Amino acid sequence: MNAPESDAFVTTRWTQVLAARGGSESARVALGELCGAYYRPVLAFLRRTGTGAEEPEDVAHAFFAELLGGDGLGGVDRGKGRFRSYLLGALKHFVANRHRRSARKRHGGEVEHVPIDGGDAESGERILDLAAPELEVLFDREWAFTVVEGALARLQREAAESGTAAQFSVLKAWLSFGDEPGSQADAAAKLGLNEGAVKVAIHRLRRRFREIVRMEVRQTLPEGLSVEEEVQNLIVALSGPTGRG
Amino acid sequence: MELPVDGGRCPGCQQTLEPGRAQGLCPRCLLVRVAFATEADGAAQPASAVPDLAVVAVAFPQLEILEVIGRGGMGVVYKARQRSLNRLVALKLLAPERVTDPAFAERFRREAQALALLSHPNIVTIHDFGVAEGTPGAPGGGFYFLLMEFVDGVNLRQAMRAGRFTPEQALAIVPPVCLALQYAHERGIVHRDIKPENLLLDREGHIKIADFGIARMLGGGGGTDVSAGSVPAGVGSGPTAGTATRVTAAGTPQYMAPEQREPGQGDHRADIYSLGVVLYELLTGELPGARLDPPSTKVEIDVRLDGVVLRALAIQPEMRYATASEFRTQVGAVAFGTAAGARRESVHPATRLIRASMGFLYRPEELETFGGQMLPGSRRGQWVLEDERLTFLREGQQTVIPLAAIRDVSIGDLPRSMNPAGLDLLQVTYEESGREVRVVLLVAPGWFAWPWTWNAGVAEWAELIRKAVVERTGQEPAQTPRDKLPTAKNGRWAVYLLPLAIAVPGMVTFLLLALSRNPPRRDSLLLFVTSLLMIPLGTYAGTLGFFRLMRRWSDNGKPSRRAGLWTLIAAGGAILGVAATLWILLFRPWASIHAPPSEPMPMPTAVEARQESVP
């Protein structure tokens, strides 16, 4: 479990990055892995803010390259912020810079145009308010999805490794929804297990899921912040109206 | 369980689900589980079952929903203000996922009506019940709700967490609960889920029972015959069959009476058991384990409480208090005794369990008959010695011997037919309506015991009963010498009859076979019959002698004069038995019993024949 995972589910520590302030090689690796886990929130954010002619994916890569390229780490807050806040800050900065650059390019020359009326009539693009709460919610929401989906994927992989993939696909519904006693009996019949075994399997699945999520969330927190609080933040982020437009 | 498809909404939180994400699950509910489940409580009630305040507020316009004050397997409880009367109420919504039975609505209505008739200061009053409509998206169409008295306080679980109860405080809680239970039991209503969470303490320290009958309501099963006043108080009338209800197992495992694990089992005495568990927990801070340790072994409390608690926690319902009021009286006696420093002088002294063991009860007359002696294991039951009485419990019946009536406690011999090993019995003589009644106690802790451990057990019981009688009456019961007991002589003939009974059928068969053919040789026939007789007789005498010998040694530490005699019998018997067996095996007398018709007289004996055959 301590070995670095190849996909989204990394076991590095934000505290490690904070402690080394990006100075050490391992901190750099850790940051890279954290960024990998945050790829989708970043992508969603970029999609929402618009990337012009470029593919959002390319822009996301550019962002991470810049972040990991060295300069980015200098911006790591000395305080005790979450990785989530740090990354969002860096992303906003990056997007703002990008917009400024593209605007300069369009307007030809080094003169910087400052929008007066809140709209850029010439490009037809709405000027982004990068401080809008909905962007933050979108970002957090994607992060919550990443955590949940990553944990599910990991459970699925673990189930496949232990030869209980079929069991997982049937029982995963109990990870989120209620406990209708009758339906457990159905599941038991479907899996050819007795009901007691199904109960135990569900219990284990839930416990493991909880472990994985908490572990993953903890990776992104500095010392002293509670995992519970962060999970509740994510629940709040997921509680809004579906944020796809 | 089906993954939600209709409208893509999560059945838990009603959130619209995004197709193709989180494997079709609701990410919010997934995280809610992570955030709100504790490590110890892995299969915690899903928080998704808690409807949002806003949703509830829409469904109950007449109420101002204030906050969630509790949630459990049965549902959610909100604190609310009833607008019309401007009073605080508790609104209980039964967990929608528990309401799966189509017959639930009818059962709910009937039960709630019965519950609403309960009006007792120690029972949470039910103001209203019903189904709230107009809850869009709620599975099952609506909320089944109960509107109840709001108790401003904490439940016993929370109070226990806040600090340990003193024994006095613990004892003060039980009597009002018993009063309320008795009240409900007399009306045919069994709680079925008594536990600390359902016992509420208000700010004045009054205790109130919540959730009466909810376990049964949610338990499924067929209709119940609950109707007010249909069942009389069960004092002294044994099991009050009328209160038994047909339900599937429902309740909280740690507090459930053993019989409640079987669907459809458990009457009002299940509540007494559950309350016993609560009392045990209040006193000791822990739940009774698989081996029931008396509370006084865990904490320093009045030992008389042990008996009170253990009686409530008896596995068999018949052994518990027959009614809640009896339980209350006993607890009250200890509580009162503790406060006043009084002991035996109280009007209803609490009984204390001294010893209990599996065993048998016989009348001495039974031991005089052959059948009585031959069926030693037929009626197993339980002997219970309390400081007030000696009781023998068998399925459906009990024999109670008040200690004050006991006149004689003596140790005697079991009839020898049952007892080649020299087992002791315990005979108790007591007075019952002017007559002397004699009973024989056999105390058998298991199905197998060495004679000396058996006898040590008998001696211990005799001593315990003796002491208890002295403590109760101040008078030592009489003791009859071993050989003066009526059972002493009985059955001695069987010592001899028994081996004969084994040997005779074999011999008769053999004789009949032999005589039906040619005239047999008389001398070898005689030898054979004798040896056949010797095998069982010798073996039996050997066994008898061996055990008698062991007993002498274990009694005195050294062999007595009689032990010498028994040694002789044992040795003689063993030699006879072995010799007879060997003779039969070696010389095969049956081979020479029949004289072949062609051979001339006289026939050689088997031994001669053998010798002749060897050149």
Q: Residue B88 pairs with which residues in a beta bridge?
A: B81
Q: Does any CB of chain B come closer than 8 Å to the CB of residue A168?
A: no
CB contact under 8 A, A186 and B1: yes
Candidates 3.50.50.60, 2.30.29.30, 1.10.150.650, 3.40.50.1100; correct CATH number of B353-484? Answer: 2.30.29.30
For position B96, what pLDDT does the model report?
62
Q: Which residue in the block uniquely carries the two structure tokens 């619209």?
A: B16
Q: Smallest Cβ distance to A228: which of B2, B35, B42?
A: B35
Neighbours of B126 (CB within 10 A): 22
pLDDT digits (tens, 9 = 90+) for A44-74: 888 888 777 778 888 888 888 877 766 545 5
For position A189, what pLDDT does the model report?
78
CB contact under 8 A, B35 and A148: no
The structure tokens listed for B73 are: 């397997």
Question: Which residue of B30, B38, B53 is the best one to mutate when testing the A interface, meaning the one whose CB has the most A CBs within 10 A?
Answer: B30
For position A182, what pLDDT does the model report?
57
CB contact under 8 A, A202 and B35: no
Q: Does any CB of chain B come closer than 8 Å to the CB of residue A203?
A: yes
Residues 25-44 of B with CB under 8 A from A: 25-35, 37, 39, 42-43
For every residue of B74-125, DSSP letters joined together read: TEEEEEEEETTTTEEEEEEEEPGGG---TTHHHHHHHHHHHHHT---TTBPP
Q: Which residues from chain B sit within 8 angstroms of residue A235, using beta carbons?
A: 28, 31-32, 35
Q: Does any CB of chain A come closer than 8 Å to the CB of residue B264?
A: no
- The yes-or-no verdict on residue A94 having pLDDT over 60 is yes
For position B230, what pLDDT does the model report?
30
CA distance B225 to chain A (A): 26
Q: Does any CB of chain A come closer than 8 Å to the CB of residue B71?
A: no
Cα–Cα distances (Å) from B470 to B353, B408, B463, B476, in that order, read: 16, 12, 11, 5
Q: Smallest Cβ distance to B30: which of A175, A199, A232?
A: A175
Q: Which residues from chain A sit within 8 angstroms of residue B54, using beta carbons?
A: none
Calpha distance B151→B88 (Å, rounded): 9
CA distance B270 to chain A (A): 24
Inter-residue contact A80 to A223 (CB < 8 Å):
yes
Q: Does any CB of chain A come closer than 8 Å to the CB of residue B513?
A: no
- Which DSSP category does B510 fall into? H
ipTM over 0.90 threshold:
no
Q: Which residues from chain B sit within 8 angstroms of residue A213, using beta carbons?
A: 30-31, 34
A225 vs B120 pLDDT, higher one: B120
For position B178, what pLDDT does the model report?
93
pLDDT digits (tens, 9 = 90+) for A130-156: 777 777 888 888 888 888 888 888 888
CA distance A206 to chain B (A): 7
Calpha distance B1→B21 (Å, rounded): 18
CB contact under 8 A, B33 and A234: no
**Cα angle at B133 between B132 and B137, to 5 degrees?**
115
For position B239, what pLDDT does the model report?
33
Calpha distance B562→B548 (Å, rounded): 9
For position A123, what pLDDT does the model report?
43
For position B41, what pLDDT does the model report?
38
Chain B: residue whose CA lies nearest to A244: B18
Q: Which residues from chain A sit within 8 angstroms of residue B22, using beta carbons?
A: 145, 148-149, 152
Enter the pTM of the model. 0.39
Q: Which residues from chain A sit within 8 angstroms of residue B18, using beta carbons?
A: 242, 244
Inter-residue contact B293 to B306 (CB < 8 Å):
no
CB contact under 8 A, A238 and B15: yes
Q: Smallest Cβ distance to A175: which of B10, B18, B25?
A: B25
For position B301, what pLDDT does the model report?
78
Q: Which residue in the block uniquely carries the two structure tokens 């822009």?
A: A59
Q: Which residue in the block uniquely carries the two structure tokens 């009007």?
A: B347
Q: Does any CB of chain A come closer than 8 Å to the CB of residue B47?
A: no
- Is B153-351 a CATH 1.10.510.10 domain? yes
Calpha distance A243→A237 (Å, rounded): 10
**Inter-chain CB pairs, A–B, below 8 Å:** 111
Cα–Cα distances (Å) from B316 to B170, B181, B313, B533, in that order, read: 25, 20, 9, 49
Cα–Cα distances (Å) from A139 to A49, A145, A232, A237, B302, in that order, read: 11, 10, 15, 9, 64
Number of helical (H) and strand (E) elements in chain B, helices listed first: 17, 15
Sketch the domain layout of chain B as residue ranges.
Answer: 6-49, 153-351, 353-484, 492-613
- Which DSSP category does B358 fall into? E
pLDDT digits (tens, 9 = 90+) for B497-531: 666 666 677 677 767 766 666 665 666 667 677 76
Cα(first)–Cα(last) distance of chain B, in Å? Answer: 92
For B465-477, letters b (16+ CB in 10 Å) and e give: beebbeebeeeeb
A102 vs B7 pLDDT, higher one: A102
Q: Smallest Cβ distance to A180: which of B1, B26, B28?
A: B1
Query: Where is A42: in which H helix or E strand?
Result: helix A39-49
Calpha distance A118→A114 (Å, rounded): 9
Q: Smallest Cβ distance to B1: which of A187, A228, A244?
A: A187
Q: Does any CB of chain A come closer than 8 Å to the CB of residue B9?
A: no
For position B255, what pLDDT does the model report?
86
For A157-179, letters b (16+ CB in 10 Å) and e give: eebeeeebeebbebbbbbbbbbb
Calpha distance B233→B181 (Å, rounded): 11
Average confidence (pLDDT) per 10 residues, chain B, 615 residues: 54 71 79 61 42 71 81 76 89 69 72 82 88 53 80 84 79 90 88 87 85 66 33 32 36 78 78 92 84 77 81 86 88 63 38 75 74 58 81 72 88 67 82 84 71 81 90 85 66 59 70 64 68 72 69 54 69 79 72 53 50 48
Q: Return the closest-CA partner of residue B301 out of B279, B272, B273, B323.
A: B279
CB contact under 8 A, B43 and A202: yes
